Each structure stands twice: as C-alpha cells, then as structure tokens.
Amino acid sequence: MTIDGDAAYQVLLAHDARFDGRLFVGVTSTGVYCRPICRVRMPARRNCRFFASPAQAEAASFRPCLKCRPEIAPGPGLAWTVMDASRTLARQAASALDEFAAEGDAPSVAKVAARLGVSDRHLRRIFFAEHGVTPLQYLQTRRLLLAKQLLTDTRMPVAQIALTSGFRSLRRFNAAFLGGYRMNPTRLRRATPRDTTAVAANARVDSPATGAATSDAITVTLGYRAPFDVATLIAFIAERAIPGIEVTAARSIRRSVRAGVVGASAGWLEARFATDAARVRLSFAPALGPASGAVIAAVRRWLDLDAAPETIAETLVGLPGEPGLRLPGSIDAFELAVRAVLGQQVTVAAARTLARRLVERFGADIATPWNDVDRAFPGPADLAAVPIERIAELGIIRSRAGAIQALAAQWDSLAPLLAPGAAPDALVDRLRELPGIGPWTAHYIAMRALGWPDAFPPGDVAALKAMRLGFAATTQRDAEAFAERWRPWRAYALLRLWNSLGVTP
C-alpha cells in the first residue's frame, strides 16, 4: 500500500481522528511511531515516515509511542464486499492472526493458510502485497502490542503477560520485547506513568458486592474513532438485556460471561465510556486474566469500536440519523443465536421475558461485584441435553424449543464459522439448514455475531415500512434493490431505518 507522504503529513497536522488506526507516523529523529492524533511536539516533515499499520512501523524498527499508545488505537475496520479476492483473503488472514494473537496461540503460516483453503506460499505472497509485512511480522507486532497494553494498564505479573501474549517462555518474551522496543518489559512498566483513572475504576464498587471485588479487576483502556452514539448503543443493549446477565447505565454496561466464551473460566466484565475522550475503560474478572487478549478483542467487536463512522456516514447520506451509530455485536454468540430464535414473531419485550425464564431454569449462579448480575447464560451442552418439554413449558413454542436445541447440538460445528473475519455467507447457509431458522434469523445472527457490516436480513417488515415512508419502496424487491446503494454498510442503514420508526426487531 503506497501512502502519499505530503497528504499524510496534513492529516498529522490536523490531528485528524478519521485516520486513527489507519495511519501511523514514524519519526526518524526519535525512533518512535505515533497515531495521527498524538499531541506530542509536531515533527518536521523531513523526519516523518508513514505506515498503514503498526506492523509496518515496527518492521521498519520504530517503537510505539508511550503517550498516544498505538496499542489502543481502533482497528482498520473491514468490509467484505468492496475488495477483490486477493485483498479479501489477505484481510481474512490478518483477522485470523489477530484472533490467534488474542488467544495467545502460536500458529504456523501453514495452519492459517489451511484454514483459508490456500497454500502457505500463496498466502505469504498476497499478505505481503496487502500489508507490507510477512504474516509472522504481523503476528509478532500484535503480540508485543498486547503485552505493552497489559504492562501499561494492569499489574499482572510479567510472566503471566508473557504467556497471555503468546510467548512460550519469559526468556523469549524478554528477548522479543527488548529487540522490538529497545527496553525490557520491567523498564517499560516503570517508565509509563500510571493512569490514575485506572486506579479509580478498579476501586469503584457501584452496588453491594456479592463475592467478587472490583478492586481485583483487570482494567484496560480501549480507543475508538469519534463520533460515537453511546446513548443509542446502550439503549439497544438495554432493551434486550436479560435480567441477571446484563445491566446498563447511562454510559456503562456490565455483564456476566459463561465459561468457554473467552477462555476456560466464567467471569464478568464492565465497559464504561469516558465522557472526555474517545476511550472505553474495560474492567473484567481476574479469572479471565489468562484470556485478556480474547476479552479485549471480544469487547471491541461487541461495541463495534473499530468502525469508521465518517466513512459509513458518507455512504448513508439521505438516511435519517447522525454519524456515530454503531452495530451492536455480542460477547456470547450462542446467547445471541438463542435470543434471535426467541425473538421470532414476538416483541422485544416478550423475547426478553422468555430469555429470562430460560436463564432462571438452565443458567448457573455466578459471583460478580453486583447484585443484579448473578447468572451465567446456559451453554450449548446445557440446552442440548434437556428434554424438549422442559424448554417448551417455559412458554416457548415447541418449534422454537426445537430450533434452540438444534443450535445447541450443532454448536461445535457452527463455532468455526463464527471466527472473526469468517465469510458470513457460509454461516448463513449453515444456519438455514437447521430446523426453525429462516433467512431473516440467519442473517440477523450473522449481522451481530460476526459484526457483518453489509447484512440486510431479507423480508424485514420494519425496514420495508421505513423505506416505504422515506423512499417510496412499495415491495420487498424494491427495498432490496434500493438498499444496494448502501453497500457495504447496509447493516448500519438497517439500524437507521429501525430507529426512524422507533422500533428495533
């Protein structure tokens, strides 16, 4: 990818947040690379080199800035439908490497290539052409940036951070960190000013404790691109929040996490939006510490923190709504899929009631810092093993109870199709093979579980009504044809259409 240096320098002069996470500047006089929003002293143009990713900057021997913290920058965002096949494959490979890095895994390039159905030689070639670095350089950068984030924001032991970041020994971690950043991990931790808001977040207890203390929480900072319509996102989640599982406030969301969703342990998390910066303060249970990377990645997808709101808004001109709308994802894809089935042909409130009954009957107790978050959603094995009558007697009609059990029984085969960057069409096709799951439900699950930005569930009655009022689309065929102009952001268009009517299916 070729970057126009003079144009990029204008972005730097303007501190243009639209390019945060998409452009990085390496300063030759300091050996440091920064985000375009960094407020350090402006470097001279002759000292600037520009990169499309942290991996490119680090491959050129620059180390990350301690002030603007490239490790918390939003990701570049993906659009499946606007790139050629090679670029799409290279982006899917990067998503796979992001997933492996988040989970602390150490895959070979051959493993990633096999997952994508290509040869490792072909993958290396197209990956370098798209990203400007090799897959292993990219993966190493992701690991080191995760380690830097945990060193900066938390007091996790260095040895635990090494393992969490995917290094198989402390010796290898120290060597890689020293080689990449020209300082050892302990020195970086000493050199980084402690964020006092992290201490305050850790010490806060907003309601009587039930056995877990927020003072023990692991707390990290996540960045995003403004604007962000926090109120609308939280309202969407609040309307669907299952009692005991999820609770919202004006600028925060807290919830439980069942075992196996992010790491092996059950736990809890809280996301709190800052009022004075484009940042989210994420706190989560110490039990989830070994899966810190996976937790951070899951929350970024859940809250759509990598979206590019200005880019999306340019495509949605003429639709009601303002820039900053986010596509709500999910922490637990199985929970979302079950909730989608429960919501078929009933109101949001009715679906929430059915979900509450399901959790009360089949969920498990969990200790969190809050009295109103005390249950974990039942897992696939919990629902696959029970007689269908026990689900149906909760007021869930038998066909939907059967669909839930089919989802539960097939979840192990569905899970690979829900990996970050996976092709949504494959998931939709597989879901539609299950009894009781039609096209709308399959697309809705893909939209939220995968964060599919171009989803447009067929036959959506509310969308057709909004388009009839706003664009004189009288039939479903007319609506789908008109929606083509909103590619690759039709899911955001759908949310705007729903919001224009004051309803959200």
State the DSSP string of 10-39.
HHHHHT-GGGTTT-EEEETTTTEEE-TT--
CB neighbour list of residue 328: distance below 8 Å, 6 or more residues apart? 233, 236, 237, 302, 303, 304, 448
- Per-residue pLDDT at 504: 66
The answer to whether 31 and 63 are in contact (CB under 8 A) is yes
Question: What domains, with CATH codes, occur in the chain?
Answer: 5-58 (3.40.10.10), 85-191 (1.10.10.60), 196-306 (3.30.310.20)
Whether residue 505 has a cis bond before it, omega within 30° of 0: no
Asked which of 252-261, 315-324, 398-407 is least confident by mean pLDDT, the reply is 315-324
Share of the chain above pLDDT 70, in %: 93
Residue 1 has pLDDT above 80, yes or no: no
Catalytic residue among 68, 229, 460, 478: 460
Catalytic residue among 20, 34, 153, 374: 34
Asked which of 8-12, 166-170, 276-280 is least confident by mean pLDDT, the reply is 166-170
CB neighbour list of residue 491: distance below 8 Å, 6 or more residues apart? 327, 447, 452, 453, 454, 455, 456
- Per-residue pLDDT at 77: 72
Sheet containing strand 246-248, strands side by side: 218-223, 279-284, 267-273, 252-257, 246-248
Q: What is the pLDDT of residues 443-490, one digit of tens each?
A: 999 999 999 999 999 999 999 999 999 998 889 999 999 999 999 999
The encoded tokens of residue 245 equal 């599982």
- Per-residue pLDDT at 215: 66
Q: What is the mean predicted confidence (pLDDT) over 105-131?
A: 88
Residue 204 has pLDDT above 90, yes or no: no
The answer to whether 80 and 454 are in contact (CB under 8 A) is yes
Determine the residue type at 321.
Answer: G
Residue 210 has pLDDT above 80, yes or no: no
Determine the residue type at 487.
Answer: R
- 460 is an active site residue: yes
Radius of gyration of the chain (CA): 23
Q: What is the pLDDT of residues 150-190, one digit of tens each?
A: 999 999 999 999 999 999 899 999 999 999 999 999 989 88
Q: What is the pLDDT of residues 55-103, one digit of tens each?
A: 999 999 999 999 999 999 999 875 444 457 788 888 888 988 888 888 8
With CA atoms as reference, report the closest residue to 68 among 27, 38, 25. Answer: 38
Q: Scanning the structure block, which residue is given the tokens 């004051």? A: 502
- The rounded mean pLDDT for the chain is 91
Q: Cα(35)–Cα(19) distance, rounded to whole angstroms? A: 9
Q: What is the mean predicted confidence (pLDDT) over 241-245?
A: 97
What are the CA-CA distances from residue 196 to residues 40, 192, 284, 437 (Å)?
20, 12, 17, 48
State the pTM of this model.
0.92
Q: Which pLDDT band holds residue 209 (cuts at 50, 70, 90)? A: very low
Name the phi and psi angles at 349, rounded to 5.
Answer: -65, -40
Q: What is the pLDDT of residues 392-417, one digit of tens each?
A: 999 999 999 999 999 999 999 999 99
